[in-house]
Amino acid sequence: MIVTTKQLFEQAYGEYALGAYNINNTEQVMGLFQGNVDSQAPFIIQISRGARAYSDKRMLEAMIRAADEIFAEAVFAVHLDHGDEETCYDCIESGFYSSVMIDASSFPFEENVAITKRVVDRAHASGVSVEAELGQLGGVEEDISVDEDQVHLTDPKQAAEFIERTGCDSLACAIGTSHGAFKFSGSQSLHFEIVKAIQYLIPGFPLVLHGSSSVPQEEVERINAAGGALKGARGVDPTQYLPAAKLGVCKINIDTDGRLVWTRVHREYFRDHPEVFDFRKPGKVYMDEYARFIASRNELLGSAGHLPEVHAALGA
Ligand code: G3H
Ligand code: 13P
Ligand code: ZN
């Protein structure tokens, strides 16, 4: 059942965080739903502009609608990840997305406020939730690459003003994470004091952490041992997910880790079975491994086991 992120956040706030997982193809969709149902967790499906262009936005919608039927128990939001204004409007008008992210974080503050407010007005008129972003993460997202020296951590007072003026439903804040498999190249750590300060200023307001993949070292080593070249890949300590959730972080974005599972499975499979050319064989292994990975993340996020109460609360 598709619900809004706002509905999910009302259930989760202060207790656990929802895993927000990106999808691009059938195998990812199957593994994702299986892992969430197995661990009895509500979740968020994220669709980036890159994903919408990879096959076709209608293909993604059809896959998710099919998965909703196959896994009838699942409760999830369908969310546009890192949208620009035009894509947000397309998603709002589609009637399919229950949530959009307007990412105007690279614009000056006043422009970010104005763009976000326009999107909020259109989205709320259609019952769609809006995530906005203030501050800038490092790493590469969509077509934008942000160098370490351009990273701006979120200012809590500015965040309070931003939320008040835009009416957004959740806020992605920059607290030291970055996108991709190479995080913390310097001596960074997570700035929980920013999250605490925002929670103090606006109690009960849902926050979002981007760039939260943990880049498991075992995956990196196995990928490299099977011919990969991911030297120095590093991620977020996943035992930090739950403490963040207790401070009002309701959504934690994990995409890179899923790509690492895919890469490890396929590199190892073709290394060990050079005679195979039936892609369904590693594809099936990947679906099972991805489902297990998702379930393990939901345990760390604290969302595992909450599906029955979410069903009850949302009348699902
Ligand atoms: O933040 C970006 C997400 O990991 C999506 O990546 O734009 O390559 O689909 P993508
Ligand atoms: P990772 O690159 O850490 O998986 O972050 C994903 C993300 O923030 C998607 O919006
Ligand atoms: Zn992101």
Which residue's alpha carbon is at the smallest distance from atom 9 of ligand 2?
Answer: 253
- The protein residue with its alpha carbon nearest to ligand 1, atom 5, reads 48
Residue whose C-alpha is closest to residue 79's, from 217, 244, 295, 250: 250
The SS3 of residue 276 is: coil
Q: Is the CB of 219 under 6 A from ligand 1?
A: no
CA of 6 to the centre of ligand 2 (A): 20
In order, the DSSP letters of 84-108 are -HHHHHHHHHHT--SEEEE--TTS-
| pTM for this predicted structure | 0.96
Quickly state the pLDDT bin for 137 (edges 50, 70, 90): confident
User: Is 220's pLDDT higher than 90?
Assistant: yes
Shortest-distance Cα residue to atom 1 of ligand 1:
141
> pLDDT confidence of 175, banded at 50, 70, 90?
very high
Share of the chain above pLDDT 90, in %: 91
Amino acid (1-letter code) at residue 18: L
Annotation says 155 is catalytic: no
Residue of 296, 125, 298, 137 whose CA lies nearest to 209: 137
Percent of the chain with pLDDT over 70: 94
Q: Please, what is the average pLDDT of the chain? A: 95
Nearest atom of ligand 2 to the alpha carbon of 256: 4
Residue-wise pLDDT tens digits, 17-42: 999 999 999 999 999 999 999 999 99
Which ligand sits nearest to residue 144's alpha carbon? 1
Longest Cα separation, the chain:
60
Distance in Å, CA 270 to ligand 2 centroid:
27
169 within ligand 1 shell (Cβ under 6 A)? no
Per annotation, catalytic residue among 81, 103, 169, 257: 81
Instruction: Give the ligand 2 atom nearest the CA of 22.
Output: 9
Phi, psi dihedrals of residue 101, rounded to the nearest 5°? -105, 125
Beta pairing, strands 139-141 & 144-146? antiparallel
Please report the beta strands in 109-254, taking only residues with DSSP state E, as ranges in sequence order: 129-134, 139-141, 144-146, 170-173, 207-209, 249-254
Average pLDDT (150-163) is: 92
Residue 294 Cα to ligand 1 midpoint, Å, equals 18
pLDDT digits (tens, 9 = 90+) for 98-118: 999 999 999 999 999 999 999
